[in-house]
């Protein structure tokens, strides 16, 4: 098979057994792989009412067909399960080299079932599949686990070709904020997956393989890749901004437009001087690191020397600067860098953690909670307090358990649910929906909670790459949101990263996909698959009791205008856009897909039985 | 004579060169283990290593190199494949692999796909 390997590994941790299954060709054609196939298999096999932390829950690692073939940015492996944080589906996007190595090991998909009695590591080394006892790794941070595991392999050449995905102490302690971390410190998004992996007593998955992937038309494929590299090089964002600063280049622009939030979205961020790209270059020595077959290389590494964290690290991305930095009132880049690294070390999701901290800080600021009650000294702007909090939360020492449950539960326990800035239990990514209307609509409707990773609407709304849209206008935004949600779904299903959309159009990928897979998809066919995936996810969430009442932004965004900053006195007009969005999706006024829509998408069997 | 010049400070470790090599030498096949160039990683550095001669015995002259205070094992930089270092041997056939500059005139596919300029074709 071209692109796909066509094999799936099913590991039952309770019985300690595994079997290798063939993947059905029709399924691959209709759902491609990666996120789409992962969601399809998960929703077919697991009840939407499942407790995410029960042994019956499953965890699916799924690499798309383009991963490992050399397709530009074909590196992303998706992890699908039901999130312990939100209760919706969770889908992480693993960058780095793990996904490609998984393909070379001969698997498109790894399904993990059951629960091991004692901690184990799943090791897939050149067709030898084993469960290794992992007591000695339990309690270690993610990078320690990876280093120790490679050391124990005893052969530096094997160690060099082995890639791991691990959980940190946060995942072991079943914190809903926990995340999984791959290739030492790449956090993957999709909070709540770490706890699911921890509940299975699975500390890590290690892969190494030597199988070949087939490409349908090699000559054409190589030509298309050449063209795409040239196109990326001629676009300013993908040839200069991204390679130089990673996604942190957005900080300046978002500040100017009043999108960068401050103090739990109470105000626009105050000053750019300490957090802009110039400050970034001043604070860290930057080294570029690329994910598998990525010509952009937006990951920036550095060395951090500080008593709280020392060693190799990643410089904060836009996400970290916004969530862990300005939104918590911190504008010291070296502190933000360390909190970001500590999150990776402990296996915490930066966005979920940042949102929870900001909620706690506002509770303290409004004197609803005292630092003594929370057992941690956190206030807006107190960076050292955050560093302390992260360690205490993830190791569950210092009785900070309440914080580890996430911002929503924390705010509810103080009877102020309105102070939690998030949708479906997931804190907002650091884009203020009052100044970026399309993103606001996406936050309200996203199947995974308010995370920008599932629709990069800012490409057109803010950066004006393909269209010249005003961030604060709502005209045309529902269509834009739908387009980007579908595009992202299909890119994830193929295993492609979404950042190249800053320099390439989606239609540029079509010849790449066809020459690789030997198919005849048009751009519309592919977007249609994306729509199918989005609807399937929506159906799962509906069965898990999510409905229209969950498609709302916190009241702060629809009622309190931002008083300062460059965004002007605006509120989010999400409720005006929602009906049009539902209409474009072919859903009824309650946000439920109509029969005809499901029939057209080929999802009749998955329809909601009430 | 053409040479491939390696500037490891520009390498991002994306391994696109490995796949370019594999696709060019084995029809329609992507597999880093069948490539004649591999990206090694040590400490903070990535460095592409292009396959050289195959030797059937391990050497006795292993050195430790010190750069910027970090100590590196010379073995990792070495272009040869030997019993101690099982790189550049095709797994399925056991045949040693050697860089051929992608034919005459030389137009190495790894250089074409290397976007950061870590690999460069130079005349000497």
Same domain, A488 and A550: yes
Q: Residue B30 is nearest to which of A215, A233, A291, comparing CB atoms?
A: A215
Closest CA to A88 of A539, A603, A562: A539
For an interface test with A, give the residue of B14, B18, B112 to mutate (most A CBs within 10 A).
Answer: B14
- Predicted pLDDT at A531: 93
- Predicted pLDDT at A608: 46
- Predicted pLDDT at A383: 84
The residue in chain B having the minimum alpha-carbon distance to the alpha carbon of residue A211 is: B31
Please list the helix, strand and coil fractions of chain B in percent, rounded to the nearest 5, in that order. 20, 30, 50
Same domain, A134 and A203: yes
Reported as a single tens digit per residue, the pLDDT across B75-117 is 888 888 887 787 888 877 788 888 888 887 788 999 999 988 8
Residue A271, domain extent: 245-426
Q: Look up the ipTM and state it.
A: 0.93
Same domain, A374 and A398: yes
Domain boundaries, chain B: 2-123
Q: Report if residue A516 sits inside a domain.
A: no
Same domain, A190 and A109: yes
Q: Exposed (0-12), middle (13-18) or buried (19+): which is A6, by Cβ within 10 Å? A: middle
CATH number at residue A385: 1.10.569.10
Same domain, A399 and A440: no
Asked if A212's CB is within 8 angstroms of B30's CB, the reply is yes
More confident residue, A79 or B52: A79
- Chains A and B: how many Cβ contacts under 8 Å? 96
Same domain, A356 and A445: no
Q: Using a CB–CB cutoff of 8 Å, tell me whether B115 touches chain A.
A: yes
CA–CA distance, B103 with A16 (Å, rounded to integer): 50
Q: Report if residue A1 sits inside a domain.
A: no
More confident residue, B66 or A549: A549
- Predicted pLDDT at A609: 42
CA–CA distance, B116 with A229 (Å, rounded to integer): 11
Establish how many alpha carbons lie within 13 A of residue A8's alpha carbon, considering only the half-sphere containing its beta carbon. 20
Q: Which residues of A touch B28 (CB under 8 A)?
A: 2, 214-218
- Predicted pLDDT at A301: 85
Cross-strand partners of A599: none
Same domain, A420 and A440: no
CB-CB contact of A149 with A163 (8 Å): no
- Predicted pLDDT at A400: 62
CATH number at residue A96: 3.60.9.10
Same domain, A421 and A440: no
The residue in chain A having the minimum alpha-carbon distance to the alpha carbon of residue B117 is: A295
- Predicted pLDDT at A391: 81
Asked if B12's CB is within 8 angstroms of A292's CB, the reply is no
CA–CA distance, A480 with A44 (Å, rounded to integer): 30
Neighbour tally for A369: CB within 10 Å: 22
- Predicted pLDDT at A399: 57
Same domain, A440 and A403: no
Segment B20-30 mean pLDDT: 91
Asked if B86's CB is within 8 angstroms of A295's CB, the reply is no
Q: Report if residue A228 sits inside a domain.
A: no
Whether the full predicted model's pTM is greater than 0.90, yes or no, is: yes
Average pLDDT of each block of 10 consecutive residues along chain A (610 residues)? 89 93 89 92 91 93 92 92 91 91 93 94 92 92 91 88 91 90 83 91 93 91 92 90 88 86 81 78 81 89 77 85 89 86 89 91 88 81 85 71 83 89 90 89 91 90 86 88 93 92 91 92 93 93 90 88 70 89 92 90 65
- Predicted pLDDT at A60: 94
The residue in chain B having the minimum alpha-carbon distance to the alpha carbon of residue A232 is: B115
CA–CA distance, A177 with A175 (Å, rounded to integer): 5
Q: Please state the domain count of chain A.
A: 3
Q: Which residues of A touch B15 (CB under 8 A)?
A: 97, 292-293
Q: Exposed (0-12), middle (13-18) or buried (19+): which is A451, by Cβ within 10 Å? A: buried
Asked if B44's CB is within 8 angstroms of A222's CB, the reply is no
For A2-127, where are the E strands, in sequence order? 7-12, 17-22, 59-63, 77-82, 89-94, 109-113, 120-125
Cross-strand partners of A22: A7
Q: Using a CB–CB cutoff of 8 Å, tell me whether B41 touches chain A.
A: yes
Reported as a single tens digit per residue, the pLDDT across A196-225 is 999 999 999 999 998 999 999 989 999 999
Element (H, E) at A205: strand A202-208
CATH number at residue A491: 1.10.599.10
Residues A600, A604, A606: CA angle, nearest 5 degrees? 130
Which pair of tokens denotes residue A253?
A: 């622009």
Domain end point (choices A208, A233, A255): A208
- Predicted pLDDT at A145: 92
Same domain, A309 and A274: yes
Q: Residue A290 is nearest to which of B12, B27, B109, comparing CB atoms?
A: B12
A372 CB-near residues (< 8 Å, 6+ apart):
none
Same domain, A409 and A486: no
Q: Residue A70 is nearest to which of B30, B44, B91, comparing CB atoms?
A: B30
Q: Report if residue A370 sits inside a domain.
A: yes
Same domain, A135 and A261: no
- Predicted pLDDT at A270: 67
Q: Residue A293 is nearest to which of B15, B33, B73, comparing CB atoms?
A: B15
- Predicted pLDDT at A606: 64
Domain end point (choices A426, A459, A493): A426
Asked if A216's CB is within 8 angstroms of B29's CB, the reply is no
Q: Report if residue A213 sits inside a domain.
A: no
Domain end point (choices A426, A455, A489): A426
């Amino acid at each position: 098979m071209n692109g796909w390997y066509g094999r799936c590994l099913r590991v039952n941790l309770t019985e300690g057994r595994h079997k290798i299954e063939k993947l059905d060709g029709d399924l691959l054609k209709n759902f491609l792989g990666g996120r789409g196939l992962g969601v399809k298999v998960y929703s077919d096999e697991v009840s939407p009412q499942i407790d995410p932390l029960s042994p019956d829950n499953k965890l699916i690692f799924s690499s798309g067909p383009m991963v490992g073939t050399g397709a530009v940015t074909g590196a992303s492996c998706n992890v699908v399960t039901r999130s312990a944080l939100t209760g919706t589906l969770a889908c992480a996007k693993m960058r780095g080299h793990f996904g490609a190595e998984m393909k070379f090991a001969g698997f498109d998909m790894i399904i993990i079932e059951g629960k091991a009695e004692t901690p184990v590591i799943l090791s897939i080394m050149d067709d030898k599949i084993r469960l290794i006892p992992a007591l000695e790794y339990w309690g270690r941070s993610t990078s320690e686990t990876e280093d120790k595991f490679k050391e124990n392999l005893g052969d530096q050449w094997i160690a060099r070709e082995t890639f791991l995905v691990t959980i940190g102490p946060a995942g072991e302690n079943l914190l809903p904020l926990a995340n999984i971390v791959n290739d030492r410190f790449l956090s993957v998004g999709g909070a709540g997956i770490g706890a699911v992996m921890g509940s299975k007593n699975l500390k890590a998955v290690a892969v190494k393989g030597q199988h070949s992937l087939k490409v349908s038309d090699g000559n054409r494929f190589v030509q298309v890749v050449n063209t795409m590299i040239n196109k990326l090089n001629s676009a300013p964002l993908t040839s200069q901004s991204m390679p130089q600063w990673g996604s942190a280049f957005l900080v300046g622009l978002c500040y100017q437009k009043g999108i960068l939030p401050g103090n739990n979205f109470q105000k626009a961020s105050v000053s750019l001087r300490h957090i802009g790209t110039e400050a970034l270059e001043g604070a860290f020595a930057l080294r570029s690191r690329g994910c598998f077959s990525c010509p952009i290389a937006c990951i920036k590494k550095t060395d951090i020397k500080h008593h709280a964290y020392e060693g190799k690290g990643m410089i904060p991305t836009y996400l970290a600067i916004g969530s862990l930095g300005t939104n918590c009132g911190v504008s010291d880049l070296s502190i933000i860098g360390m909190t970001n690294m500590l999150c990776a070390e402990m296996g915490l999701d930066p966005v979920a953690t940042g949102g929870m901290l900001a909620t706690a800080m506002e509770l303290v600021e409004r004197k609803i909670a005292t630092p003594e009650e929370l057992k941690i000294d956190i206030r807006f702007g107190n960076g050292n307090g955050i560093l302390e909090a992260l360690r205490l939360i993830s190791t569950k020492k210092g009785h900070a358990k309440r914080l580890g449950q996430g911002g929503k539960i924390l705010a509810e326990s103080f009877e102020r649910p309105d102070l939690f800035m998030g949708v479906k239990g997931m804190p907002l990514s650091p884009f203020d929906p009052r100044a970026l209307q399309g993103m606001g609509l996406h936050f309200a409707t996203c199947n995974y909670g308010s995370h920008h990773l599932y629709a990069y609407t800012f490409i057109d709304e803010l950066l004006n790459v393909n269209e010249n849209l005003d961030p604060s206008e709502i005209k045309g935004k529902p269509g834009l949101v739908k387009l980007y949600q579908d595009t992202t779904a299909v890119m994830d299903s193929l295993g492609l990263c979404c950042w190249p959309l800053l320099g390439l159009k989606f239609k540029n990928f079509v010849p790449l996909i066809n020459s690789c897979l030997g198919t005849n998809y048009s751009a519309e066919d592919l977007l249609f698959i994306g729509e199918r995936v989005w609807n399937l996810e929506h159906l799962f969430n509906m069965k898990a009791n999510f409905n229209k009442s969950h498609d709302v932004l916190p009241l702060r965004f629809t009622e309190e205008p931002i008083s300062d900053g460059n965004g002007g006195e605006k509120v989010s007009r999400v409720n005006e856009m929602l009906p049009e969005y539902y209409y474009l999706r072919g859903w009824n006024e309650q946000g439920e897909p109509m029969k005809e829509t499901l029939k057209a998408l080929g999802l009749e069997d998955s329809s909601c039985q009430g | 004579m053409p040479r491939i010049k390696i500037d490891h400070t520009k390498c991002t470790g994306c391994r696109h060169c490995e796949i370019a090599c594999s696709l060019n030498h084995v029809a329609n096949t992507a597999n880093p283990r069948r490539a004649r160039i591999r990206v090694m990683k040590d400490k903070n550095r990535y460095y592409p290593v292009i396959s050289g001669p195959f030797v059937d015995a391990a050497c006795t002259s292993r050195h430790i190199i010190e750069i910027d205070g970090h100590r590196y094992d010379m073995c990792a930089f070495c272009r040869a494949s030997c019993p101690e270092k099982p790189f550049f041997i095709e797994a399925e056939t056991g045949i040693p692999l050697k860089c051929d500059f992608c034919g005459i005139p030389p137009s190495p596919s790894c250089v074409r796909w290397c976007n950061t300029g870590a690999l460069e074709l130079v005349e000497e």
